[in-house]
Each structure stands twice: as structure tokens, then as C-alpha cells.
A and B are shown apart, each in its own frame.
Chain A
Amino acid sequence: MTDPVRQPSISRRALLAGVTGLGTWAVLPERGSDAQLRRPAAVLPRAVPNPTASLHLAATDGWVSMPQGAPPISPFWPDPLAPAGADLYVFGFRDVTGLSATEVTAQRGKAQISAPLLGFDQETDIRITLTNLGLSVRPDLTDGHTVHWHGFRNAIPLFDGVPELSISVPIGRDFTYFYRPHDAGTYMYHCHFEDVEHVQMGMTGIVYVRPAQNAGTADVPPGKYVYNDGDGTTRYDREFALMLTEVWAEAHYRDAHIQTTDWTDYKPSFFAFNGRCHPDTLAPNGDPMSAAAGRLRYQPISSLITANAGERVLLRLANLGYQNHTVTADGVDLLVVGKDAALLRGRDGSAEYQVTNTVQIGPGESRDVIFTAPDPGTYLLYDRDLMSLANAGGGRGGQLTEIRVSPPGTLPAQTRANA
């Protein structure tokens, strides 16, 4: 749902721009009947055209690496077909923005998990071009791919990515999706073609929308906020996005080995943050285009959380596994301010932020959680479903990472999420 004051969007937007002037931000009063659903929201009045962002993603298959030393799951993992340094077959997205056509084609077989972490400003006109490079290990498969922006209040099925209700992208073709996000918060994106298979295979990522309020309003200074809260209560200093997924090694093996899977037998073997299992979660961000990134080259997104004591840290949590997970941080109070890209406030403005130690996230849900970095030291953040703290059923691992807190003033300001 979008804010009623933006309807009809174009004329209203132009009108507002004319009234308040370019570059002025305002929080407008809500209007509407009792029956009308509303969310508090700031509105960016501005002249057209909208700010724009363009992105080029490629969809393909590839090989990644689960933690070394986990007990084998014979014959499914490590997959004997895997090239050196890898052990698990995946599908995934790849950021190929700015590459030449030849360079894009060369990315076939180089999928990454999780998909690139995407962040956009509210009201930006976003074009995401998806190129389907086909599957290097399964050239017999003619699967299409799509981008589904999960949770987006998408007015139009054409850009929703559900093949049966719109279109999907054939091998060797591309299609440009268009989004104009009106609602800040944490979303996900994933392929919706044969989604039970393609999502499990790794075509999942986080996308988030920054609120217009970041530019400041009459009541709130410019800064970093999760939502258009109107009172600054969702301000943060650093942000870390964690995509929770499970890996059912047997299904990945069957895809690589031209076998079919009964998905109702679902039984995951690995539990990941951002496509990595502990201890790989702690490794720094890598350059997915560089061989120097080593074993985790195709799993470039770190889950290591760093902050200076006293800073407000935002966790953007999203779950595209098929099971519930319960995230906890030892010794740290968690403030849940948003669910499913919506500020936790009733229609009458009543706040329902929750202070908690565990945040349960179901499949397809997102949560925005803020905590204040405690005294310097190392704190653990992990899934309280302890069955998710194993790699291939053995050893410690899974959905676990660290919060490393430094003395105030140690770390410079964060320049991008998960850095």
C-alpha cells in the first residue's frame, strides 16, 4: 500500500513540488476514511523527473563453498562435480552493471549467493535489467528467470516476476524491470520462476529502501533513518543486512546431476547468513569479480557486525529459507521497529516497537531491529534454533556471527551497508 496523499501520483507530486518548492521536504497530514489503511509516512515533494538508478543483473548457475571440515553428506556433499575450491551447485544473480556484452556473457557459470545487496532512496525510478545467461552445468534446462521484488507494493503484475501471471526472461534475452518505491523499509528479491527450486538454489537477496526523511524534515534533522518515523526514533549509525537461508544439499546435488527432487521431502543441511555459514560469516566482504577473493569469491557479503560503543546499529533481517528462525544477540537488547517494510505503528500512530532478546522471522518476513552497541568486546549473534548452528549436521557453524564493538571513536563512519 502506498500513502494516500500520493494519489494520483504524478499530478499530486507535481502539484506538491510547485507548492513547496524543489528540495523542500515535508511531513504531510494523513487523510482518509476510518476504513482506509494508513501508515505514517513522509512525502518527498519534488519536481519530475524522479531521481533514477539503473542496475544490470545476470542470472546463471555456479559453484560455491560451504565451510571446510564439515562432515560429508554422501553422495550429495561435497558434490564430486564441483571445481577445485568449491563444493555446492547453486543458481544465483550477479551484478554486471557497466560490463560489455562480451563481459556479461563471460559471467555464465559464475552465480553468487546471496544476490547483490541493493539499497535505493525512496521515490527513485529504478530500472533493473535482468539477463538470463542460462545454466552452464545444465544446458539441457531451458528455465527462465525473473526478478520478484518480494513485499513491494507493486501496482503492476508485469514487474512482479511471477511467470504465470506476467512474463519471464528466456535464455539469452534480457528484460528491464521498473520500480518506483514509495515505502521505506527492508524487502527481499528473488527469482519466481519455479520458485521452490530457484529460491532454494540461491536466487535470493535483500533490497532496502531509504526513507525520504533522511534528507531531514521540519521536525527531524538529516541523518540515517529506517522509516519516515516523524520523530527520529528509527535513527541509526551503522546498518547490516542479514539474509537468512537454508541449503538442502541433496536438492543442489540432484540439480547438478540431472535428477528430480520431491520438494515436500525438504530437509536442510546448511543454515546461512548472506549465503555463508559460520565461520565464513566472519570473513570480510569480497570482490566477486576478483579471483583474489579466494574460496568465498562467489559469496561476497560479510555478516560481521562492527560498531563503536554507544552507536545505534540497524539490523535488516530477512528470511528466504523455508523455515522459521529466531535471531538473538547475547547480552544485547534488541528494539524491533519494523516488520515487512512497515513501521511498527498502529493506524492511529500508536507505537508498538518491541524490546526483546529474540526476533522470530518466518519465511518471507523481514524485520528492522536497532540495538545500541554495548561496551567494547565481542558479542555473538545467532539463531536460537540451535539445530541451525550446525554445518552438514556436524560441528559448530550455521547461522552465527559476531558483533565486535570498539571503543568510541575507533571506527570511521560507515560508508555502505555491511562494511
Chain B
Amino acid sequence: MLRLDRGRWKRLSAVPLVAAIVAVLVVPGPSQSTASPPAGLECLTAGDNAFELTATGGYAAMPDGNTIYMWSYAAGGGAFQLPGPTLCVTSGVKVTVVLHNSLPEPTSITFPGQVQVLADGQPAQPETDAAGTLTSLTTTAAANTGSVTYTFTAGPPGTYLYQSGTDAQKQVQMGLYGALVVRPAGHPERENDRADSAFDRDREYLYLLGEIDPDLHLAVERKRAYDFTRYKARYFTINGRSMPDTIAPNHADWLPAQPYGALIHIRPYDPVGNPKPALIRYLNAGSVSYPFHPHGSDEQLIARDGRPAQGPGGQDLSYSNFLIDVAPGQTVDTLMIWKDAEHWDPQGNPIPVPLPSLQDQIVGPGPETWFAENPYLGGEPGELPPGVVQNNQCGEYYHVAHSHALEQATNYGASFGGMMTLIRIDPPAGCPA
């Protein structure tokens, strides 16, 4: 009972994955301002912490071939992208965000978690129409050509959403959302001010979770009315993409408007060689909770909504999870490591049950597999049935991470899609290109 767009899977499996792998191997020291990592969080930074965002319309591609009209925030005078760029600032700095509006109706940005936000120098204010009805949660930029300048002092370190405050039910669903990352002053290697929030700066990931009701988007595109009582999300996204597009590299050329991937790429924990955890920042821009389940490792929940999990005396109140539940509008930050608990090795420590012969197993199902037909980390790939595309490069392990509200792990109801991505674990020695 599988529906797949084979074209998409082929495009994905050919050049891009290999490119991603090669690129990730040569990744980066600590991320610089405009660096464009092939996987992981990509910051937009500005020397004076002043950002220009343009609310504009464009199209997002879904893996089943559907194309969805969206609204989102473009960086500067750049092209439409979903979601908006990830703004990275340091706690305590003065932040300026100029919003230009090219949409046919007023729009705005709210910064939940930030205090004393000014709009054009005045405290940002809710807006009402002549009848006194609330029209916007915050100060707007006028339709088509308006602009507004928001300023605030970046609050406590952590992960925050920014999103439309105007006709928010519709505009946020249309895609007007992005992430704001506030780093602790003097400690960019930490999620917050606590020493135990330190992470590997080359292993920082953002999961901006959302959903799409294509009927609403079609109504907006065709300037028709939409009845929100009929709202029904059909696509579930991470960083504006659905599986399998989530595992394609950042800036994959066949996803021109969806620049951010969600593949986690790590190596096994090693107290000397690889001691630091990865950091995953979860944000929920949708209308329901997304119960996110990473396989193969639990994660330590260290912060929520820009507040560290700690007691009044600074006690560590973080906790271990294999299910990270993110409610609408919330953010959750976790640290994650993957440990090779058993160190299976075909010579010295063989797996105590056999791998069945090919005719006694199902590979796939579907046109692709991420399993090397060799269960050993770093092992040589085994034989595959004809017609199955092998994505395994060097005996690396893959685990899936997905919403466990399983109807969300589909593309319009079709399996192995939606709010889902992969965790790739390379052998300790790395992966030769």
C-alpha cells in the first residue's frame, strides 16, 4: 500500500545524496556568518544585528509532486523561501528586523519570548479595525508596499519562533514563520548559560515543524474565501520539506524555495575523539502537537521556550526522552549522542543471530534502501536485489526520526513521508568520499 513518486526518489538518490555526503565530510569548523553548510542549522547573521525580511509569495514542492502556494519571509531582497531565514543573534544585543510587505494584505511579525518589542520606535501594539475588532496581534506593515521596523533586545539564550501576528490563523498556516536563535553571550558553544548545555558546533540542527492544508493555500492563491472549520492538514513538514526531501542537502537545486534540510549527520560517541553531543532545536509552527520520535538514541531535553530546564537553585532538571512532544508555538532544545553500545564486529564480537539470505527478507519496500545488507558499522555492503537503489555509502548506520502521530508521517496519507527525517551515523573512522 505504497504510493511513491519515483521521479522524486530517483532525483534524490542520484547526485544529491552523494553530494551531501561529500560535502558534510568536509564540513566546516565553527560556523561563520554566511557559511552554507550542506546539513544542519544555517544562520543568517548581521554585523549590526539588523535584518531585512520581505513577506512574499512563492511555491513549495511536496514529494508527491504537488506544488503549494505559500507565503513566507525572504531575506533582504532575496527570493521567496520557506521557512524564513534562521536569524542568529547573541543574548543582550539590540536586534533590528525591518519587515517589507509585498503581500496583498497587511502583515507583521511577532517575536514570542522577546519583551518590549518596538515598532518604528514605539511599543509594538495590537491593531483593531474601526469596529474595535482585533485585526493584528502586533503593529503591521501595510499591504503591497508597506514596511515596519521592529527592534528589541535579544532575551535569554535559546530557540524562538518568529511568525506573522496578522490574521495569524491564516498567515502562519500560509508559511509566515521562521526561527530566531539567541546564543549565550561569550559562549556560542552552549545552548544556554549552563556549562552542561555545551554542544558540538558542527552538529547543530533545527527542526522547524509545520503542516499544510492544500485547500487553504489554493483558496488564497485564487483569492477565494476559505472556511476554517474545514481545516485539514495533509502535509507535515520539517523546515518546509517533507520526507524524503528532508534528507536532501541544504540548498538542493531541485528545491529552490526550500533551502533547509533536516538530515542529522553524526559519528558514534567517543569520550576522546567525539565527546560532545549534537544539539537539536525543535519549533512548532503548526496547529497541533507533534510527538517527535528519534530512533536509536534518546535525547536530553535541556530547554523549553528559551528557558533552561533547571530548578531555582540551578539544579539540572533536564530529562531523557525518546519522544519529544512539541506543542503549538513551543520550542524544545535537546542534546543527542549516539553510542555504539555493543561494538559489534564480525571477527571479535559477532552479532549472535544470522542475517537471513536475500530471498528470506524484504528489502525496502519501495525503490530504495538505506541498509547495506551488512549489519556492522563500517562493513562492506552486501548484495542487493535487482532494482533496489542502495543509499549506503560506507557501512554507515541510519535511524529514522519521525512524528509518532503516524498520520503525520505521510505525504497526503501515503507512507514513508511527511514529518520524518533520518539520523545518519558514520563509522568512527569517518566515511571515505
**Contact assessment for A346 and B375 in the assembled complex, using a CB-CB cutoff below 8 Å:** no
Q: In the complex, what residues of A have CB within 8 A of residue B369's CB?
A: 164-165
For the complex, is A229 an interface residue (Cβ under 8 Å from B)?
Answer: no
Chain B residues, Cβ within 8 Å of A348: 196, 315-316
Say if the beta carbon of B410 comes within 8 Å of chain A: yes
A224 within 8 A of B: no
Task: Give which listed residue, B277, B320, B368, contacts A39 with CB less than 8 A.
Answer: B320
Assembled-state Cα–Cα distance A125/B351 (Å)? 12
| Chain B residues positioned under 8 Å from A154 (CB to CB) | 295-296
Q: Number of A residues whose C-beta is below 8 Å from B? A: 78
A164 touches B375 (CB 8 A): no
Chain B 370-411, CB within 8 Å of chain A: the 1/0 string? 110001010000000000000000000111100011111110
- Report the bound CA distance from A199 to B402 in whole Å: 14
B316 touches A1 (CB 8 A): no
Residues of A within 8 A of B160 (CB): none
Residues of B within 8 A of A197 (CB): 1, 415
Q: How far is the CA of A85 from the CA of B365 in the complex (A)?
A: 35
A39 to B343, CA, bound (A): 21
Which residue of A is nearest B319, CB measured? A344
Residues of B within 8 A of A34 (CB): 195-196, 198
Smallest CB separation, A355 vs chain B (Å)? 15
A103, CB-defined interface residue at 8 Å: no
Main secondary structure of the interface of B (DSSP, over half): loop
B335, B360, B362, B413: the one within 8 Å of A163 (CB): B362
B188 to chain A, nearest CB (A): 15
Bound CA span A157–B46, Å: 42
Closest chain-A Cβ to B297's Cβ sits at a distance in Å of 6
Which of B1, B341, B399 is the one whose CB lies under 8 Å from A182? B341
Q: Is B353 touching A263 in the complex (CB atoms < 8 A)?
A: no
The answer to the question of A365 belonging to the interface, with a C-beta cut-off of 8 Å to chain B, is yes
- Compute how far the CA of A168 lies from the CA of B361 in the bound complex, rounded to whole angstroms: 6
* Max count, chain B CB within 10 A of own CB: residue among A178, A263, A345: A263
Stretch of A6-14, A18-26, A110-118, A374-382 on the interface side: A6-14
Please name the residue on chain B nearest to A343 by beta carbon. Answer: B320
Q: For A248, give the chain B residue with the smallest CB separation.
A: B407
A157, B291: Cβ atoms under 8 Å?
no
* Cα(A399)–Cα(B255), bound, Å: 44
- Cβ contact within 8 Å between A340 and B323: yes
Q: Does B323 lie within 8 Å of A195, measured CB to CB?
A: no
A150 CA / B370 CA spacing, docked (Å): 19
State in angstroms the CA–CA spacing of A345 and B321 once bound together.
12
**B343 partner residues in chain A, CB cutoff 8 A:** 8-10
Asked whether any CB of chain A lies closer than 8 Å to the CB of B356, the reply is yes
Contact between B361 and A156, CB atoms less than 8 A apart:
no
Known contacts: A156-B397, A163-B362. The answer to whether A347 contacts B297 by CB under 8 A is no
Give the shortest distance, in Å, between A389 (CB) and chain B (any CB): 21
Q: Tell me the smallest distance from the CB of B263 to a CB of chain A, in Å.
A: 13
A169 vs B360: C-alpha distance when bound (angstroms): 7
Contact check, A196 vs B364: say whether CB atoms are below 8 A apart: no
Which residue of A194, A196, A264 is within 8 Å of B232 (Cβ)?
A264
Contact B317 A352 (CB under 8 A): yes
A151 close to B (CB within 8 Å): yes
Given known contacts A167-B361, A346-B315, A350-B316, A2 and B371 CB-to-CB distance under 8 angstroms: no
- Rounded to whole Å, the gap between the CB of B29 and the closest CB of chain A is 18
A10 and chain B: residue at smallest CB distance = B349
Task: Give the residues in chain A near B408, CB-CB below 8 Å.
Answer: 322
Known: A37-B337, A154-B295, A180-B342. A196 touches B320 (CB 8 A): no
A162 with B362: CB separation less than 8 A: no
Evaluate contact between A362 and B291: CB separation under 8 angstroms: yes
Q: B325 touches which one: A39, A173, A178, A365 (CB < 8 A)?
A: A365
**Residue interface mask B273-306, A partner, CB < 8 A = 1:** 0011100000000000101010111101000000
Question: Which of chain A's residues has its CB closest to B199's CB?
Answer: A35
Among A294-346, those with CB < 8 Å from B are 322-324, 339-342, 344-346
CB of A261 closer than 8 Å to a CB of B: yes
Contacts of B365 in A (CB 8 A): 144, 163-164, 168, 193-194
Judged by a CB distance under 8 angstroms, whether B2 is at the interface is yes
User: Is the C-beta of B431 less than 8 angstroms from some C-beta in chain A?
Assistant: no
Q: Which residues of A contact B341 (CB under 8 A)?
A: 2, 6-7, 9, 153, 155, 180, 182
Neighbouring B residues of A36 by C-beta, 8 Å:
269, 271, 275, 277, 337
Q: A363 contacts the other chain (Cβ, under 8 Å)?
A: yes
Specify the chain B residue showing the minimal Cβ separation from A178.
B353
B363 contacts A by Cβ under 8 Å: yes
CB of B423, distance to nearest CB on chain A (Å): 10
Q: Which residues of chain B are near A347, meaning CB under 8 Å?
A: 196, 300, 316, 318
Q: When chains A and B are docked, how far (Å) is the Cα of A178 from the Cα of B320? A: 24
CA distance A339 to B320 in the complex (A): 7
**CB of A187 to closest CB in B, whole Å:** 8
B11 touches A (CB below 8 Å): no
Contact with B along A168-184 (1 / 0, CB 8 A): 11100101111010100
B298–A125 CB distance below 8 A: no
Instruction: Tell me if B319 and A175 are in contact (CB < 8 A).
Output: no
A-contact 0/1 string along B42-54, CB 8 Å cutoff: 0000000000000
With A156-B375, A170-B362 already in contact, the answer to whether A340 and B315 are too (CB < 8 A) is no
* Residue B8 at the chain A interface, CB threshold 8 Å: no
Residue pair A166, B371 in contact (C-beta under 8 Å): yes
B366 at the interface (CB under 8 A from A): yes
Q: Which of B198, B355, B370, B415 contacts A196 (CB 8 A)?
A: B415
- The answer to whether A364 has its CB under 8 Å from any CB of chain B is yes
Say which residue of A33, A150, A163 sits within 8 Å of B293 (CB atoms).
Answer: A150
Measured in the bound complex, the distance between the Cα atoms of B323 and A7 in whole Å is 25
Q: Which of B234, B309, B319 is within 8 Å of A342, CB to CB?
A: B319
Query: Nearest chain A CB to B49's CB is how many angstroms away?
Result: 28
For the complex, give the distance between the alpha carbons of A8 and B2 in Å. 41
Please tell me if A98 contacts chain B, counting CB pairs below 8 Å: no
Do the beta carbons of A324 and B289 come within 8 Å of each other? yes
Q: How far is the CA of A200 from the CA of B405 in the complex (A)?
A: 11
- Report chain B residues within 8 Å CB of A196: 406-407, 409-410, 415
Whether A363 touches B277, Cβ cut-off 8 Å, given contacts A156-B397, A178-B352, is no
Q: How far is the CB of A319 from chain B (nearest CB, A)?
A: 9
Is B344 on the interface with A (CB-CB < 8 A)? Answer: yes
In the complex the two chains form, what is the Cα distance from A166 to B356 in whole Å? 12
User: Can you list the 7 inter-chain pairs with the closest CB atoms, starting with the nearest?
Assistant: A364-B404, A346-B316, A342-B320, A350-B315, A151-B322, A158-B375, A262-B413
Interface CB pairs A-B, < 8 A, 8: A148-B295, A153-B341, A157-B399, A168-B361, A324-B291, A350-B315, A350-B317, A362-B325
A residues touching B (Cβ–Cβ < 8 Å)? 1-2, 4, 6-10, 32-37, 39, 125, 127, 141, 143-144, 148, 150-151, 153-158, 160, 162-170, 173, 175-178, 180, 182, 193-197, 199-200, 260-266, 322-324, 339-342, 344-348, 350, 352, 362-365
Beyond A156-B342, A167-B363, 8 extra complex contacts between A and B, CB < 8 Å: A1-B297, A33-B275, A157-B371, A158-B375, A173-B361, A265-B232, A339-B320, A340-B323
